[in-house]
């Protein structure tokens, strides 16, 4: 294929379908572009001629290179917006910051994700998982896995992380359900977001007066952030940690139920849980696309990306690149997945990945162990997929029976 050492051979392509699930992988149009030329010029909807990176080596190099910025105001988008202009990043959104601002936030936050805190959270993840499986069992022989399990488990884990008191939890769950629900209108979502940020403000005030044993209290007492910054961080952690993990639980279950021989392997070999989670992360690549803009001219694989050029990075295509992962479109729970980009790479690599791994390695095997007869309650092609470039990959619902 073209690529290393090759100058662009073709003119700019229009943006391909990103996050168009079929049902688990990138669209054939996207993979065809990768196999033809893994880094190539692309014409953005606003007329800008930038780049599309789809090959694993190019995506990884660009994510690791500080000459590429994550700031929203420098970006051209590979999709049309329903409104004018790119909104500015909400306070506390680390993913839209460059060094040195990013370094300040990241150091303090990383300092709060301690080994001790992760160990305490692991115990709670186990309890929360068991409680929800008990409730599913009590309730009958079928359920929507998203609302019964995949959403509430990570929501309660975030409550633990932020130290949301028990008495406030149903209120908190109401806001988060309104944010991610399928039938929720934009007005309802905006209202839920406003309720949630004023709730987080209240929580910060409470932690300042009476700190408790949780990450938010650690950040409040550390003194390095203003209340406004803390509120932004609280909302960002919620956004970063909730839908991602919830989608991986539901979509991961869907992938396993659709690959019975892999499912049987996982049931037979519990020690496969950790590599299986990594393989599901690679195979599904729910955080499918990244965007960066060059701050100066950069040479990558024989191409010159000029200062000001935006590059769209297809993580879903890179994680299915045969140059890095042999037989990439096969779900193989025992394979080596080192170097997958599902948590990103470089300075923005997911700060919550350890927690996400704990949630997935606890929740998925516990679900399979509890319901040996777990199956889809609808034909696989009727499972509603989350598609479109500005949403995470995943499912809106997953009707299951046992
Ligand atoms: C960043 C994926 C769970 C907190 C990221 C990025 C990806 C990602 C791809 C990089 C974004 C970029 O480069 O712009 C995922 C996936 C998850 C998950 C697939 C679940 C399976 C979590 C959880 C938390 C979390 C549970 C915390 C509660 C963060 C934070 C960042 C981040 C704070 C920003 C890091 C930075 O910019 O320095 N995540 N994430 N994530 N994630 Fe996660």
Average pLDDT on 132-157 reads 96
Q: What is the pLDDT of residues 299-310, one digit of tens each?
A: 999 999 999 999
Q: Locate tokens 């709060």: which residue?
A: 112
Rounded mean pLDDT of 209-237? 90
pLDDT for 126: 97
345 CA closest ligand 1 atom index: 13
Question: What mean pLDDT do residues 83-108 have?
Answer: 86
Rounded Cα distance between 92 and 238, Å, is 11
Q: Is the pLDDT of residue 331 over 50?
A: yes
CA–CA distance, 353 with 186 (Å, rounded to integer): 30
Which two three-digit tokens encode residue 230?
Answer: 């803390």
**Res 357: pLDDT:** 96
Give the C-alpha distances (Å, rounded to integers) separating 365 from 139, 269, 273, 362, 399.
20, 10, 7, 6, 18
Closest by CA to 325, choosing from 291, 286, 285, is 285
- Tell me phi and psi for residue 269, to 5 degrees: -125, 85
With a cut of 0.90, is the ipTM above it?
yes
Ligand 1 near 342 CB (within 6 A): yes
Tell me the three state secondary structure of residue 76: coil
Confidence check: pLDDT of 1 > 60: no
At residue 2 the predicted structure's pLDDT band, cuts being 50, 70 and 90, is very low
Q: Torsion-angle region of residue 317: left (phi > 0), alpha (psi -120 to 50) or beta?
A: alpha
pLDDT in tens, 112-124: 888 889 989 999 9
Query: Is residue 156 predicted with pLDDT exceeding 80?
Result: yes
Crossing angle of helices 115-139/353-370, nearest 10°?
A: 30
pLDDT tens digits for range 208-222: 999 999 999 999 998
Q: CA 200 to CA 195: how far, in whole Å?
A: 9
Q: Is 123 exposed, middle or buried (0-12, 13-18, 19+ CB in 10 A)?
A: exposed
Does residue 159's CB lie within 6 angstroms of at least one atom of ligand 1?
no
pLDDT at 223 over 80: no
Question: Which of 168, 132, 113 lies closest to 363, judged by CA?
Answer: 132
Is any atom of ligand 1 closer than 6 Å to the C-beta of 275? no
179 — pLDDT class (breaks 50, 70, 90): confident
The confidence score (pLDDT) of residue 76 equals 95
The arithmetic mean of pLDDT across residues 341-352, rounded, is 97
Interval between CA 326 and ligand 1 midpoint (Å): 26
Would you state the pLDDT for residue 3? 46
Give the 3-state DSSP-derived string for 388-399, with helices as H, strands as E and coil as C.
Answer: CCCCCCEECCCE
d(CA 281, CA 267): 18
CB of 385 within 6 A of ligand 1: the answer is: no
Nearest residue (CA) to ligand 1, atom 42: 350
Contact status, residue 359 vs residue 154, Cβ threshold 8 Å = yes
Q: Ligand 1: which atom is nearest the Cα of residue 102?
A: 38
- Quick check: bond before 23 cis, omega within 30? yes
DSSP result, 273-327: HHHHHHHHHHHH-SS-EEEEEESS-EEETTEEEPTT-EEEEEHHHHTT-TTTSSS
Q: Which of 250, 284, 304, 41 is nearest to 132 (CA)?
A: 250
Q: Which residue has the tokens 């700060």?
A: 351
> Which residue puts its alpha carbon closest to atom 25 of ligand 1?
352
CB 300 near ligand 1, within 6 Å? no
Name the residue at shortest CA distance from atom 26 of ligand 1: 241
Amino acid 9: pLDDT: 60
Nearest CA to ligand 1 atom 38: 348
Tens-place pLDDT, residues 136-145? 999 999 999 9
pLDDT tens, 14-29? 999 999 998 999 999 9
- Is the beta carbon of 286 within 6 A of some atom in ligand 1? yes
* Rounded alpha-carbon distances, angstroms, from residue 73 to 11, 105, 194, 270: 26, 19, 24, 46
- Residue 6, pLDDT above cutoff 80: no
CA of 236 to the centre of ligand 1 (A): 10
pLDDT category of residue 379 using cuts at 50, 70 and 90? very high
Q: Tell whether pTM > 0.90.
A: yes
Q: What is the whole-number distance in angstroms between the Cα of residue 147 and the centre of ligand 1? A: 22
287 lines ligand 1 (CB under 6 A): yes
């Amino acid at each position: 294929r073209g690529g290393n050492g090759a100058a662009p051979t073709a003119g700019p392509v229009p943006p391909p379908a990103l996050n168009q699930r079929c049902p688990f992988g990138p669209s054939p149009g996207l993979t065809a572009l990768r196999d033809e030329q893994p880094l190539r010029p692309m014409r953005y909807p606003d007329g800008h001629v930038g780049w599309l990176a789809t090959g694993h080596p190019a995506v990884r190099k660009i994510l690791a290179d500080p000459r590429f910025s994550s700031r929203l105001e420098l970006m051209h988008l590979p999709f049309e917006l329903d409104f004018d202009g790119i909104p500015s990043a909400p306070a506390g959104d680390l993913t839209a910051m460059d060094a040195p601002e990013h370094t300040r936030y990241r150091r303090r936050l990383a300092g709060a994700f301690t080994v001790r805190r992760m160990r305490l959270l692991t115990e709670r993840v186990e309890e929360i998982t068991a409680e929800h499986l008990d409730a599913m069992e009590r309730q009958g022989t079928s359920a929507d896995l998203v609302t019964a399990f995949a959403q509430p488990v990570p929501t309660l884990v975030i409550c633990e992380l932020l130290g949301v008191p028990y008495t406030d939890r149903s209120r908190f769950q109401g806001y988060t359900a309104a944010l991610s629900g399928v039938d929720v209108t934009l007005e309802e979502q905006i209202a839920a977001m406003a309720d949630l940020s004023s709730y987080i403000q209240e929580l910060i005030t409470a932690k300042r007066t009476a700190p408790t044993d949780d990450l938010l209290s650690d950040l409040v007492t550390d003194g390095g952030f203003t209340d406004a910054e803390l509120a932004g961080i609280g909302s960002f952690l919620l956004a970063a940690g909730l839908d991602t993990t919830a989608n991986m639980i539901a979509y991961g279950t869907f992938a396993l139920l659709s690959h019975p021989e892999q499912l049987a392997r996982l049931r037979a070999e519990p020690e496969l849980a950790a590599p299986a989670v990594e393989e599901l992360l690679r195979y599904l690549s729910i955080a499918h696309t990244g965007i960066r803009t060059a701050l100066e001219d950069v040479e990558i694989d024989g191409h010159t990306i000029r200062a000001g050029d935006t590059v769209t990075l297809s993580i879903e295509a890179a994680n299915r690149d045969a140059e890095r992962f042999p037989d990439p479109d096969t779900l193989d729970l025992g394979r080596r997945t080192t170097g997958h980009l599902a948590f990103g790479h470089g300075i923005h690599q997911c700060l919550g990945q350890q927690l996400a791994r704990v949630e997935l390695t606890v929740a998925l095997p516990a679900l399979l162990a509890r319901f040996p007869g777990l199956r889809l309650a609808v034909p696989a092609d009727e499972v509603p997929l989350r598609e479109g470039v500005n949403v995470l990959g995943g499912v809106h619902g997953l009707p299951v029976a046992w």
